[in-house]
Chains A and B, each alone.
Chain A
Amino acid sequence: MPVVISVRGVGKKYRLGATLGNDTLRDHLAQAVGALFGKKNQTEKADESFWALKDVSFDVKQGEIVGVIGRNGAGKSTLLKILSQITEPTEGEIHIKGRMASLLEVGTGFHPELSGRENIFLNGAILGMSQTEIKKKFDEIVAFAEVEKFLDTPVKRYSSGMYVRLAFAVAAHLEPEILVVDEVLAVGDASFQKKCLGKMQDVAQRQGRTVLFVSHNMVAMKSLCTHAILLEKGRMIENGEVEPIINSYLQKASENVWQRNFTNQAEAPGNEKVRFKSICLVPDLKAGETQPTPETPLRVECEFWNSLPDASINLSMSVETRGECVFVSASTPALLNPGQYAGVCQIPGNLLNDGVYTISMQLTKDRSVPLFKFADALTFEVVESRRDFHWHGKWRGVVRPNLEWQYPK
């Protein structure tokens, strides 16, 4: 297969500080006047720059579906923007063979005051379709979006689901030889997502088109992509088969803190009454797993020093995700004297959803007086594992208990 995208040594430098954003004419005039009188350019020291992308080189062959993987700020979006010609690289060169369309957002250029019908034509034109092409596919687009009844309603009166469906439908009917897609699958409901994924697979496999795809959804990546590129801090660190790259990304990506140990009692978190010695997370991983999944049972182990004589003390733990408390669990109190103690709490499997969770641990006296709270002591990620559902989006909810069903009854 011929190479259709060839990227050679591409880099993009952004300037930080005052020169970025809506700097006013005044600054520049002041600078020019200053320069006239031989003053040194004052912004020089503020002119810090950073490379959002540096030395990136790779080839994409015709018909490949390439996933671009990386954490936030790794340079994925910058790469797509350069490929889509929205912004210019600072250095390097890219050769693209074939008609390319990019989809960095669904519904770009949609105008809320215009009707669905008008927006289809407008959005199609913005994405590079000709009017005849749009006319030919109009019915297909409308059917795909399931908005037949609302074609002449301004889209500002659409529900957000309808809006997104219409926007994606237009984009899905683009027929470029190369398609660049950024995170658009994060939209719509389950059945529509499935439809979108099917459409993309169809585009790539049956019609031999090339797709470059950025997403945080590793399950979708695995099922769609043939190749992957892993970016880290603006540099390409891996390029090849999709599975091993996703695995190494998942390992690196998590900012997991599964263990906090303090050997020196004086410096351990706490106060003159109590201090924590250690907190650690012990997931009951299956062979081959590196991170807990929603099914994995977890154990939280904790050690602490108590300096209070004859005190009724209990341990409690709170689990939070995205700033929200999932639950708080407390032990029964025990009568303690100065010394070192330990406690363990079991979090059963099939309780947490996928996502990043933090654990805080607290010691409380007499079930009412907080002695010390070790906030955000541990951070861990629960990763998606499901293979038996045809649904690639985020499973909603803070918890995902495995409840008993009687079905069919």
Chain B
Amino acid sequence: MNTAETPSILASERVIRPRHGLVAVDFGELWRYRELFVFLAWRDILVRYKQTYIGFAWALLQPLMMTVVSTFVFGRIAKMPSGNVPYSMMIYTALLPWLFFANTMTRSSNSLVTSANMISKVYFPRLIIPASAVLGGVVDFGVGLLILAAMMMIFHIQVTLMLLLLPLFFLMALLAAFSMGLWLSALNVKYRDVGYLVPFMVQIGAYVSPVFYMTGMVPEKWRFWYTLNPLCGVIDGFRWCVLGPAFEPYWPGFFAGLTLVLVLLVTGAIHFRSTEKTFADVI
């Protein structure tokens, strides 16, 4: 339009116009906003235990209490089998990824609605909000790992090279939580039903995933359909890495579950991007 502009101004020309149809993820823009992404996660973590008396110890207490109570109820009273490992060890290797998934998915699903004010006042890539909620959960998971290490020492669980695979299964749990977060947070903006649906999903999920029992107890004929649940693959993976080959995942189901996560992730991201233009109007 004008030849007098400096190159730096020209370089950052931006066009705002209505977008229609499906919208792809703008990775370049996400990269430019990486600091905000970290800051929001940091704020979530900082705020979560502010003005609590025991502070960060809550991150320890929740999985510990659940392990103690479920060991007593399912292990001692119901006498559920746990293979050749202590029942509490079997429970905890499942609770660690399960609680991460459940808490992170819940926070991520609510993240847009709780950030309504920011969404209607400032622009930044909206994807950062559910993503930073997931990142915030990683810290709690780190605390949970400390408990795992302590329990492995107490119960003399042998440390093997298999533990090196643990991060891969953790990554799968993270992607599962994020993909659900993408779908549910975007839907939550328009349909507040999601706020009621999520706690319900988490409750049911703890029973349809092998949290309090072993996958091996599920009848053979249902095995594939049962293990389609990606969290089943994650939990089996964790047990396999920590407790040994007796807990090896059922691989056909595992990979089907992994594919499901990836499909949810890609469709979730596209759905999110395609609806984000209306967030500020309907939130």
Contact = CB atoms under 8 A, between A and B. Distances in A.
A113 B51 CA distance: 8
A154 B9 CA distance: 39
A84 interface: yes
Contact of A131 (B13, B35, B46): B35
B54 interface: no
A89 B192 contact: no
A2 B1 contact: yes
B24 to A, nearest CB: 16
Contacts of B36: 125-126
A247 interface: no
Interface string B244-283: 0000000000000000000000000000000001101110
A121 interface: yes
Interface in B121-142: 121-124
Interface stretch (A104-112, A136-144, A353-361): A104-112
A111 B121 CA distance: 15
Nearest to A128: B124
Given A96-B13, A127-B122, A128-B124, A88 B1 contact: no
Interface stretch (A16-24, A275-283, A395-403): A16-24
Interface string B23-60: 00000000000011001100100110011000000000
A90 B20 CA distance: 10
Interface in A92-122: 92-100, 102, 104-105, 108-109, 111, 113-114, 118, 121-122
Contact of B14 (A25, A96, A127): A96
Interface string A69-103: 00000000000011111111111111111111010
Contacts of B278: 88
B15 interface: yes
B16 A96 contact: yes
B188 to A, nearest CB: 10
A104 B192 CA distance: 26
B13 A97 contact: yes
A86 B190 contact: no
Contact of B191 (A25, A100, A122): A25
Nearest to A1: B4
A89 B122 contact: no
Interface string B223-245: 00000000000000000000000
Kindly name the residue among B4, B18, B46, B50 whose own CB sees the greatest number of chain A CB atoms within 10 A. B18
Nearest to B113: A22
Contact of A109 (B10, B15, B17, B122): B122
Contact of A86 (B1, B18, B122, B193): B122
Contacts of A89: 16-18
A340 interface: no
Given A86-B119, A102-B123, A104-B121, A111 B47 contact: yes
B18 A6 contact: no
A154 B46 CA distance: 12
A130 interface: yes
B39 A114 contact: no
A379 B43 CA distance: 50
A4 interface: yes
A78 to B, nearest CB: 10
Interface in B178-226: 190-193
Contacts of B9: 2, 4, 62, 97-98, 177
A100 B118 CA distance: 17
A92 B17 CA distance: 6
Contacts of B119: 86
A50 interface: no
A22 B194 CA distance: 11
A128 B33 CA distance: 8
A3 interface: yes
Kindly name the residue among A90, A108, A109 whose own CB sees the greatest number of chain B CB atoms within 10 A. A109
Contacts of A62: 9
Interface of B: 1-2, 4-5, 9-10, 12-19, 35-36, 39-40, 43, 46-47, 50-51, 117-124, 190-193, 277-278, 280-282
**Nearest 8 A/B pairs, CB to CB:** A88-B277, A85-B123, A94-B16, A2-B2, A113-B50, A125-B39, A108-B121, A87-B280
15 contacts: A2-B1, A24-B193, A86-B122, A87-B280, A88-B16, A92-B18, A93-B15, A97-B13, A97-B14, A98-B9, A100-B14, A108-B118, A108-B121, A114-B50, A125-B36
Interface of A: 1-4, 6, 14, 20-26, 28, 62, 81-100, 102, 104-105, 108-109, 111, 113-114, 118, 121-122, 125-128, 130-131, 154, 177
